[in-house]
Structure 1
Amino acid sequence: MRVLIFYVDESGDAALAGDDGGSAMARGSSNYFTLAGIGIRDSSRESLAKNLLQLKKKHFGEIAGADWGDTEIKGRYLLHVARALAGRRTITAPAGWKRLDSQEALGGLVRDLGQVLLAFRPLVLANVVDKRKMARRGIGLNPIGIAYSYLQRNIALTLEHQHAGEGAVIVADQQTHHEALFKSGRIHEIRSELERDLTRVPNYNLVLDKPLWVDTDLSVWDREIIQLADVAAFLVTKLIDDGEPPSELASLWEALLPQFARHHQSGRILGRGIAMYPPRSSKLTI
């Protein structure tokens, strides 16, 4: 069996009142919790990671190989720097980003990131949990559990219908709270609860039951690829929140858009590559 590795990262926070979610918004928390997965074949892991390392050395200099934190690529850093250069805000990004001191320099990074997506064509899935709607409806499920349940479901369905003969593993950086939910069995409980409205339960055997947690201080290749998942999660959150991706990152979104998984019947991204909880009708035409 061939294997797809789904590198996962999040945007926003999962905070709701109470230890297991509660039904009220926690003070100061984000409106959405988004979990995105970037799926690649195991044979592409080395070449994609090395491509990203070279990209970072090109745009950040030699510091990219010496200090991970100062040159980590995140969606919010891209947008903050773009708006800072346009005079709309002060820069809130790590020290290594100071090298991107012009729109031309930032544009080069954005363009090259888009080229990586177009060249390697990862399979992208993202799950957006609308915490405001959960609070209004009194839903007390943990947003982390919801997001992972949807991700496992949609990976399994995509494999069943469009990638026969392949399995999948999820890789994420170390998150103590996330790991605890899996170890306690709470993720499985939430997934079972969400299955009640399904007409057919997907074959979850196609997906390893727990993520592989990596240490970003040691797993150099994996931490580079996880950056793409962060960018995807951020852009999807902005799309859902604002109705469109940030204009400053439009070219990056255009490179990401064709990579989202599509529903096997409707052919649409919404409902498979991008899934919402609670489910809702949307004016988005993707």
Structure 2
Amino acid sequence: MDFRLTEDQHALRRGVRELLDRRFDRDALRAAVDAGGLDRELWRELGAAGFFALRLPEEEGGVGLGLPEAVLLFEEAGRALLPGPLVSTHVAAGAVPGAAEGEVVVTEAAEGLVPWLDAADVVLGDAAGAVPVRSVDPLTPLHRVQGRAEADPVSVLLTAAEQVGSAERTTGMAVAYAREREQFGQAIGAFQAVKHLCAGMLVRAELARAAVRAASVTAAPAEVAGAKLLADEAATGNARDCLQVFGGMGFTWEADVHLHLKRAWVRAELRLPAARAEELVAAHL
């Protein structure tokens, strides 16, 4: 099976990246951290671009593409640290009026947590008695609920795709910093220890990417679970190693590395946490 992207898929990914670079750059990310809340204008712009309606049939007003293409979109969203219940709104686009157009924000109660509850127009699942909890990620407000409904495999896979995008971004950040930061008269990227860190980050990101894209073709639950495990490991592990490359600078609020690590931690728990994913993979084996 050929997993290389087609020209149309390359164009799709390029278009989404250009949109997010223009509409949600670093300044917008930092403004979102400071302001909190959900940018409804951005949400509608994503809807107009087909982000939520990507997998809907054309006769229903959608783009008519499939899960492999959706994975590409969510990799780019993870790369940009785009906030909001993107996965829930995308998955609900065919069932909840207004979700496909970005006019309605949809969240879900899964794994005992509900992200963006106060900002959502529609909540899937039982959010009765939801209690706000402090989230480690400043761009993912959370509520806790009593029930522990499981997320569907598509939602799990798209969350894994976001993790892959974040892992790719932190790899690029580490490499760029290693090239420009000098110590003892040379770029720190010349030191073997830093090279090993960056190489390990690349391996984790590419392995997770391959697993996620393969699972998007088969949609097999065990492969989705395995992809989520690898993607969570890549996102959290790469953010940690990126911190090491940045050194003390990486631990400051001004650097963006900590935002990737915090979001990766939250995503890892929101859908199919590691313990249950491991059980699914083990049962399949």
Same fold (TM over 0.5): no
Q: TM-score of the superposition, structure 1-length normalised?
A: 0.27
Answer 1 or 2: higher relative contact order, Cα 8 Å, separation at least 6: 1
Going by fraction, where is helix more abundant, 1 or 2? 2
Q: TM-score of the superposition, structure 2-length normalised?
A: 0.27
Going by fraction, where is strand more abundant, 1 or 2? 1
